Copies of this chain bind each other. A is one copy, B any other.
Amino acid sequence: MYNRKAWKHVFKLDPAKSLTDEELDQVCQSGTDAIIVGGTDNITLEGVIDLLNHIRRYPIPCVLEVSTADAITPGFDFYGIPVVLNSQEKKWLLDAQHQAIKDYGQLINWSEILTEGYVILNPEAKAYQVTHCKLPDRADVIAYAQMAEQMFRLPILYLEYSGTYGDPELVREVKQILNNTQLVYGGGITTLAQAEQMAQFADTIVVGNSLYENFDEAIATVNVKKD
């Protein structure tokens, strides 16, 4: 079993977006600690399996972040189940997950499941809009972090700025109140300097979109591990 808490840098690949085979090889050989497969729109089983087959050639931990029950496949090391804490609909907090457990509960290997408490902080993000989020203020986020750690004992709290670079001071504050829950930061990391700034506070930083925008600079963020 991999020690996910020791992951400092993770790449996130979107099954609905394209990289060349050579680029995928580079991602897998970059020295990143793990690869997450996940996205919001147009996630198909075929897209997920294509990525999995490519990644599995390399000895790197691989997480499927589940956004739709239709695109789940065996073969990943972990399955991330998002629970959107600042969604305004119970559906994204519990109901969709409940239905999936009802349908597939017998098949689930719970040791592979990671419940991820998401706080989505960019109102322009597709995930924010799909899940009808409400923008939390600083005190809201702190309280969500306390809930994640203390009430629901979630393995992961994920501050998701999806496409925009977040507030390092807020990430720092959240980290101060977490002990057991792993703090993951994602959003807008395009340069090594940004990666280094967020990695001061978050346990794990995720670099995703920038792979599809400025590939070489995105790959260079792995150097945050050398700090």
Contact = CB atoms under 8 A, between A and B. Distances in A.
Interface of A: 81, 83, 85, 87-90, 93-94, 97-99, 101-102, 105, 108, 110, 113, 115, 139-140, 142-144, 146-147, 150-154
B101 A146 contact: yes
Given A89-B90, A94-B93, A105-B146, A81 B139 contact: no
Given A113-B150, A152-B154, A139 B94 contact: no
A98 B154 contact: no
Nearest to A150: B110
A202 B140 CA distance: 36
A90 B86 CA distance: 10
Given A89-B90, A90-B88, A98 B143 contact: yes
Contacts of A115: 151-152
A144 B90 contact: no
Given A88-B90, A90-B93, A101-B146, 17 more contacts: A83-B151, A85-B94, A90-B90, A94-B147, A97-B151, A98-B143, A98-B147, A99-B143, A101-B143, A102-B139, A102-B143, A105-B143, A105-B146, A108-B146, A110-B150, A113-B151, A152-B152
A94 B139 CA distance: 15
A199 B93 CA distance: 32
